[in-house]
Chains A and B, each alone.
Chain A
Amino acid sequence: MFDASTTYVSLEQDTSLGMITLRADLASDKLKKAINEIGLGDLPAQRQIVSSSELSLGWMSPDELMLFCASQNVADIVQTIADHLAGEHSLVVDVSDARAHFVLKGAHIREVIAKLAPVDLDPTQFDVGELRRTRFGQIAAAFWFSDQTTAHIICFRSVAAYMHEQLIRAAASGSEMGIWSEA
């Protein structure tokens, strides 16, 4: 029987994550300087995400990145990057409110995600440092791991309720599989 009250990974919706869409020529020196300026090193390679203690920068497509930061810093960071990119074709825009951010924690995050997303979650195939744009059930979503027991999932805010519903079902106590850890 489905019981929403207990899940075998912890699940939390976090509203403090700021998100910035950044479209530009990813080979641009100005862009690299801008990214260095805000405290990150190299740009993420294809399907990767790079992080510092406060920021993460994910690869979304050959000309698009998404920057994750504390929501109160969004305006400043947008301004800093836009200033650096002045004169270069680019688009830097706050999209923090467009998406919902869920944090899964626990030993079994891999199998919970694998119940919803058609992604190979074997540690040899997907690990910290990778960001995957995919689907969860019937909606578009992306996810990455910040460590072995913490997964971050983002989806559009209009379907956050659906995402929550399917996550608590996939993680319902009693549905443990023990694929990548003992159940």
Chain B
Amino acid sequence: MSTRLSSGGLYIDRSARKSFTFNGKRFEGYEGDTLASALLANDQMLMGRSFKYHRPRGVVASGAEEPNALFNMGRGRHFEPNQRATTTELFEGLEVASQNHWPSLEFDVGAINTKLSRFLPAGFYYKMFIHPRPLWKHVYEPFIRKSAGLGKAPSEKDASTYEHFYAFYDLVIVGGGIAGLAAAKTAAQTGQRILLIEQSAQWGGRALIDGGEVAGQPVDNFVEETLTFLKSKSNVTLRTRAMAAGVYDHGYLLAYERVSDHLPEAKGPRHRLWRIRTKKIIAGTGAIERPLPFAQNDVPGVVLASAARDYLAGYGVSIGDRTVIVTNNDDAYLTAIAVKNAGLDVVAVLDSRANGAGDLGQKVRDMGIRVEQGKGIAMVKGSKRVTGVSICSQAGEGAVLEGLDCDCVAMSGGWSPVVHLWSHCGGKLIWDDRQQHFKPDVNNYPKDASGNPLVWVIGAANGVMTASGCVVDGERCLEGASDAGTAAQPETHEESGVNPIEAVWMMPQGAGYALRSKAWLDFQNDVKVSDVQLAAQEGFHSVEHTKRYTTLGMATDQGKLSNINGLATLAGALNLPIPQVGTTTFRPPYTPISMGSIAGLARNEAFQPIRQTPMHQWHEDQDAYMEPVGQWRRPYCYPRGSETHAQAVEREINQTRNSLGLLDASTLGKLLVKGPDAAKFLDMLYTNMMSSLKVGKCRYGLMCSENGFLMDDGVVARLDEETFLCHTTSGGADHIHAHMEEWLQTEWWDWKVYVANLTEHYAQVAVVGPNARKTLEKLGGIDVSKESLGFMEWSEGKLGGFDARAFRISFSGELSYEIAVPANQGLAFWNTLLEAGEEFGVMPYGTEALHVMRAEKGFIMIGDETDGTVIPQDLGLNWAISKKKSDYLGKRAQEREHMVDTERWQLVGLETMDGSVLPDGAYAVEAGTNANGQRNTQGRVTSTYYSPTLSKGIAMGLVKHGPERMGDVIEFPKVDGAIVKAKIVDPVFYDKEGVKQNV
């Protein structure tokens, strides 16, 4: 029976009861309990099933390292799987359910796997499921997917909120134990900006549990006094429930603050991710106790010796009435003392060492506790609960000497420093043979940009295993963390009265297969001593390979309990010293952090920036169908009633071609280029001549990259002698702005040119169709007659009371004006146009109508006709390439052999023989196959639409020798195998003479 004792419990408040449910059963705990301590207080030792063999599992640890006690927590929009009971603070109404079993925790069909474990060794899946090949996809994978995973995936959207916080410190101290507190106290006096974080809800760490004296006073006094001091310092920020998840280069540190996990009703974020830049990090992250590998060490009731003390002292909870302690070191004797002092029975202390413990051994004996030296556990008895152990000699093969009844086994295999933060950025480890663990090699520290220590370690994380040593190590943190990083390895002299730990990687050391195959290393992923040995035998000699083959340390606990035992087992199997085998890589995060915290505020309306034009809301109010254009959303079309998109597009085009349409063209890039050298600059940027453009006129221009490829296009208007307004594509505005600045800042830095991006300062409306002029004339103001504002001219002034600049340009082939007004006037101007155009049946048209109309005119579109490999010459745009200019960006590249190759595919129009619409991107085939056995091709479709104007499918494409082959019919196979025949025609399908736009 695990139960709540009548007294004790540093962390709990017995006056504040909290009720919660476990698998639907109602339990009670106290404020300050973790879910684990509260379950134990209710005698709920069985907490889940293991991943592979579905073995019954209970809690084994008391902190972040816990591998077993994981739960589905909450419900609906507050559901989250894999919540660790040992770090989940109890709150009123908490709901949890155990994971990984069917139909119930008590009776689980999957547990048959444990009977089959002989047939499911390491690598089983790899070996079993590789043949026959087709079965993988259709049988094995669906089956494995169904049985894999611990918790359930949430089915509803998370209702909680999350946020980030950017923080900057001189020094971040991680770990609120006595080492971290001592370090903060020392560092605070330097006046540096300091953050001290602690992953749990309490300061003081486990020194409070074990008590004793540090710095000449009781531990609890030290903690309290230090905290009081730190709180008084304005340069120190203290934060509990904040876990340092990862250290990255350049002093970047992620800390994960669980703001309101314990207060689910509170307003505000659930988690907060601190994105910290710090000059220095001091890791006082403590150490984690290791289990001992003996047969059936995973039976519920087998716990770490330190966890047994934590539950007793921290929560007033006992794991069982009769405890057997099994250890290879002196520290576990503290558990014997604690259990005995709590009035419970210690059946025996089984110490693997022939010489037993030092002073603590004597103390335990004096308390009347039986101590067996040179002994260990041959096998734990029980399945869902420990019922006893059989004792053997550690030196032997496991012959049972005696059986002992008990309901708790407290084990200690020694302590491993938590070196994660040290290791994330490259700190090296050394093997401490005396303490039997890897610890930071302080001469090989993770470096900052100057080569100085970025991370320093103190206390147990540094291999200092005594409380008073931790405080001393913390106090002298600044020596080590100094620029020179010269502090020596901390002194870990043999303490007097303490006998050294013994290396025990299998108990008993000569255990046969039957015992080894029941001795767990990784509880969460069901990896046993025999599995690692098998991997070594099969040739997986690298620790990284063995890890992946056996899945050792790959579960959500990332092997906090299993790694060292696993690699020591591997070293034993390979007959190598442990340091030669080394560790696997320590990667962030230290413990899993929520996906929500990574996203932060970026969800729902704040998920990503959507760029909106001044008329955006109007489009949405019309239920326009919006499409992404870069980060803009633009109306694709404005369906009415039950119209399909195709019908809407057709209506919009017919209306525009026959009378009047409006396009929100505000997204077009508008770059102001000004200066004495502006004309010279634009001559270099565009393929055509811009310096000859007269003030008041507009010219269409092409921009190429240095490699000659067509990059952007648009209309340039000359505003005055030294000022040009360059229109770019919607998606190209920022890129072209940056392109201009790059050339001005790096190559032509002595040219007098300034560029300003005015894209968003203006709303721009295309007023298009035969009635465009009449509509604008109704508004009054700027003279828009043919005589005053001819084709490819611009003019400015008031238009219907708006500050307007009118460009007489056309991308549709119709009479067309583009009017720019200050963005704040955009919506009003749009509404004015709608009103004025009412008598002409005015309709807004979307981007699809825009595309179709430009294709009917044979106008190219950047991104359709171009793909980064197309040069203007491919598109029949030689007329826009100046022959007179000595240079422009791309000119030299366009003279290269490949660019002047007459075999380059050229732009043509394509007309299907049956009037159908060619599939976009379809290839035209020709005879024969290429070197790869693929069908030869001779062209491809770049734009293809149904043309309402011509009542048939039209397309443009790039075709080999295309312009010389007018009238030829070429074949485009479709995905379904059918072939579409299309005739090569002129790309201008509509009003080739340009009469309509020039009225």
Contact = CB atoms under 8 A, between A and B. Distances in A.
Interface of A: 1-3, 15, 21, 23, 63, 89-91, 93-99, 111, 114-120, 122, 125, 137-139, 156-162, 165-166, 169-170, 172-177, 179
B754 A89 contact: yes
B434 interface: no
Interface centre among B609, B760, B762 (most CB of A within 10 A): B609
B397 interface: no
B668 to A, nearest CB: 13
Contacts of A89: 675-676, 752, 754
B943 to A, nearest CB: 27
B760 A158 contact: yes
Given A166-B606, A170-B601, A95 B161 contact: no
Given A96-B761, A98-B761, A115 B165 contact: yes
Contact of A91 (B160, B161, B606, B674): B674
A111 B237 CA distance: 14
Contacts of B164: 115-116
A159 to B, nearest CB: 4
A20 to B, nearest CB: 10
A149 to B, nearest CB: 19
B608 A138 contact: yes
Top 4 closest pairs, chain A to chain B, by CB: A174-B267, A174-B268, A158-B611, A97-B823
Contact of B756 (A91, A116, A137): A91
Contacts of A115: 163-166, 601
Nearest to B723: A91
Interface string B154-168: 000001110111111
B790 interface: no
A97 B822 contact: yes
A97 B760 contact: yes
Nearest to A157: B760
A91 B744 CA distance: 15
Contacts of A158: 611-613, 632, 760
B252 to A, nearest CB: 10
28 contacts: A1-B160, A90-B754, A93-B756, A95-B758, A95-B761, A97-B760, A97-B822, A98-B758, A98-B759, A111-B165, A114-B165, A114-B166, A115-B164, A115-B165, A115-B601, A116-B164, A120-B166, A137-B609, A139-B609, A157-B760, A158-B611, A159-B611, A160-B612, A161-B605, A169-B606, A170-B601, A172-B268, A175-B161
Interface in B156-197: 159-161, 163-168, 193
Interface in B244-281: 266-269, 272, 275, 277
A140 B148 CA distance: 43
Contacts of A2: 161
Nearest to A126: B168
A62 B953 CA distance: 54
B715 to A, nearest CB: 19
A161 B759 CA distance: 17
Interface of B: 159-161, 163-168, 193, 237, 266-269, 272, 275, 277, 601-602, 605-606, 608-614, 632, 672, 674-676, 752, 754, 756-762, 822-825
Contact of B269 (A117, A156, A162, A175): A175
Given A1-B160, A158-B613, A165 B756 contact: no
A89 to B, nearest CB: 4
A159 B674 CA distance: 27
Contacts of B601: 115-116, 137, 166, 169-170
Given A96-B761, A174-B268, 10 more contacts: A1-B160, A91-B754, A95-B761, A96-B822, A97-B824, A137-B609, A138-B602, A138-B609, A158-B613, A175-B163
Nearest to B610: A162
B605 to A, nearest CB: 4
A125 B193 CA distance: 12
Contact of B760 (A98, A162, A172, A173): A98
A63 to B, nearest CB: 8
B760 A99 contact: yes
Contacts of B759: 98
B621 to A, nearest CB: 15
A63 B759 CA distance: 20
A179 B457 CA distance: 26
Interface centre among B266, B601, B758 (most CB of A within 10 A): B601
Given A1-B267, A157-B760, A174-B266, A165 B166 contact: no
Nearest to B752: A89
A90 B675 CA distance: 7
Contacts of B614: 157
Contacts of B159: 1
B612 A122 contact: no
Nearest to A23: B754
Contacts of A98: 757-761, 823
A73 B309 CA distance: 74
A122 B277 CA distance: 13
A44 to B, nearest CB: 19
Nearest to B260: A174
A120 B758 CA distance: 30
B193 A122 contact: yes
B161 A169 contact: yes
A118 B166 contact: yes
A125 B268 contact: no
A172 to B, nearest CB: 7
A94 B606 contact: no
Contacts of B825: 97
Nearest to B275: A118
Contacts of A23: 754, 756
Contacts of A95: 756, 758, 761
Contacts of B163: 115, 169-170, 175
Contacts of B267: 1, 3, 172-175
B737 to A, nearest CB: 12
